[in-house]
Amino acid sequence: MDSKLLLGAAAGIVIAVGGMAAAQRYSAQSAADAEAAAKAAEAAREAESYAAVRRVNPVMEQVRTPRKDCEQVTVNKRLPERDGNVGGTLIGAVVGGALGNQVGRGNGRKAATVAGAVAGGVVGHEVDKRHQGGRVVASTETRCREVTDVSDRVVGYDVTYNYKGRDYTTRMDYDPGERIRVEPTIQPVAESAR
């Protein structure tokens, strides 16, 4: 009887160990299948979370920048003129009087001084009349004016993309390229009354 008992126990152990090995193999296969299925589902979700970009239009804004535009220019200026006839007449009279004072003696000297002053005044007046005005000189001046530079600046991009057969448009800060990542929203489907 001992051998029957031993044989039964051995058969039980073999069956138990074999069953465990088969279960472990089945369990390992199931885990591998589950992992592959999870990876496939993730890849499908990731593929669905991108949409094809159809069109990208830059959004422009005009920027106005004021500035001063300065340049050096040559300007001709006339120096101030002398004061009309009075200066020439006075100088002529003084010079003529001094010269007349050198001629003669006594009352003759006085008469010569007066005659010299009158003649000098007339000559000084004529010289002053022929004067053409002040001398012309060239100088350089800085002349400035306000100008406004206008330039265009990209402030965003209007992006049209296709997701699951429908076109959508959004504004983005950058050009996304050929595809755009999207976040699909899950909404319950309205079912008809049962």
Query: Could you tell me if 11 and 44 lie in one domain?
Result: yes
Q: Both 77 and 104 in a single domain? A: yes
Q: Is 159 helix (H, G, I), strand (E, B) or coil?
A: strand
Specify if 157 maps to a domain: no
Residues 72 and 38 in one domain: no
Query: 65 is written with which tokens?
Result: 């920048």
85: nearest Cα among 21, 128, 26: 128
Residues 6+ apart with CB under 8 A from 178: 52, 53
In a domain, 163, yes or no: no
In total, how many domains does the chain have? 2
Cα separation of 69 and 96, whole Å?
Answer: 58
90 and 143 both lie in a single domain: yes
> Which residue type occupies 66?
P
190 lies in some domain = no
**pLDDT tens string 150-161:** 999 999 999 999
Q: Which residues contact 160 (CB under 8 A, 6 or more apart)?
A: 53, 54, 55, 56, 167, 168, 169
Q: Pick the residue with more confidence: 8 or 99?
A: 99
**Does some domain include residue 40?**
yes
Q: In terms of C-beta density within 10 A (0-12 exposed, 13-18 middle, 19 or more buried), how is residue 133 classed?
A: exposed
Say if 68 falls within a structural domain.
Answer: yes
Print the domain residue range for 28: 1-48
Same domain? 82 vs 27: no
Q: Which of 112, 129, 147 is the last residue of a domain?
A: 147
| Structure tokens, 29 | 């296969």
Q: What is the pLDDT of residues 102-159, one digit of tens each?
A: 776 777 777 777 777 787 777 777 777 766 566 788 889 999 999 999 999 999 999 9
